[in-house]
Amino acid sequence: MTELVHYAAADGIATLTLDSPHNRNALSRKLVSEFYAGLDQAGADDSVKVVVVRAEGRTFCSGADLSEAADGSMEEGALAIVALQRRIVEFPKPVLTRLHGAVRAGGIGIVAASDIAISAEDATYAFTEVKLALTPAAISLTVLPRMTDRAAALTFLTGETFTGDTAAQMGLVTKAVPEADLDDTVAAICAQLVTGHPQGLRETKALLGRHLVENIEANGADLSKLSARLFGSDAAREAMLAFLSRKKK
């Protein structure tokens, strides 16, 4: 079967590359499973100090795999998205996301769960759930602590598209740079991160992420149920099928 997440490691840096062009790097069961496997491999390698998450194509991640969600299997999917965020937050090594192109819906959960997020200025972000009779329930666990209340209300309720520059102003990403400078910026930050002692990196990351873990523990189960209920509703099913039908035309 085709590999959807490629793993590479060199100079203390493990890179996980999302490569699922048929669904714009959507969070399918297979992609999430391979993402976990990549994190496990990086975690077991003592020479790796930092993990970089990036993507092939012009979409970093399109969110939940609607073709899976439309067949009524989303309770498992919602729990998986919550668990993936927790895995990134609790991972003992810094996780940096490199962002370009389109970043949508559930994919923003990876961004918010990461320790550092470096975006192209012209990358585009959108919480599109409201347009599909949904709400960003599962990813709110990490997204809401990153953004101001006003920014979250505007972007969640309108589903509007906003740029990497705006995402940085909102606190959703760490920094936005011209796409031509993206790789150099990521490399420079990684070069600083790998100078850290493994214990120092691990304990500092745990300190910074403690409030996210507490939020996931307190609210993860309830928000997973909310997400699953909405995905299974007639309104959402109709909206998703209409969206998938438009994509095929």
Which pLDDT tens digits describe the chain residue by residue (249 residues)? 799 999 999 999 999 999 999 999 999 989 999 999 999 999 999 999 999 999 999 999 999 887 776 565 567 778 888 999 999 999 999 999 999 999 999 999 999 999 999 999 999 999 999 999 999 999 999 999 999 999 999 999 999 999 999 999 999 999 999 999 999 999 999 999 999 999 999 999 999 999 999 999 999 999 999 998 998 889 988 998 888 777 665
Q: Residue 244 domain-assigned?
A: no
Question: Does residue 99 belong to any structural domain of this protein?
Answer: yes
Contact 87, 43 (CB under 8 A): no
pLDDT of residue 18: 98
* Residue numbers of the domain that contains 76: 5-180
155 within some domain: yes
Q: What pLDDT was estimated at residue 231?
A: 85
Closest CA to 86 of 212, 218, 225: 212
Is residue 57, in this structure, part of any structural domain at all?
A: yes
pLDDT at 245: 77
What's 25's domain CATH number?
3.90.226.10
pLDDT of residue 23: 94
168 part of a folded domain: yes
pLDDT at 192: 98
Q: What is the total count of domains within the chain?
A: 1
Task: Using DSSP, state whether 163 is helix, strand or coil.
Answer: strand
Whether 214 is in a domain gets the answer: no
d(CA 56, CA 186): 16
Residue 159 · residue 105 · CB < 8 Å: no
233 phi, psi to nearest 5 deg:
-75, 155
DSSP states of 81-100: HHHHHHHHHH-SS-EEEEE-
pLDDT of the residue at 248: 61
Give the model's pLDDT for residue 121. 98
Give yes or no for a contact between 42 and 48, defined as CB atoms under 8 angstroms apart: yes
d(CA 11, CA 188): 13
The per-residue b/e assignment along 89-100, b for 16 or more CB within 10 angstroms, e otherwise, is: bebebbbbbbbb
> 91 lies in a domain?
yes
Q: Are 24 and 66 in contact, with CB atoms under 8 Å apart? A: no
Cα–Cα distance, 29 to 240 (Å, whole number)? 18
Residue 200 in domain: no
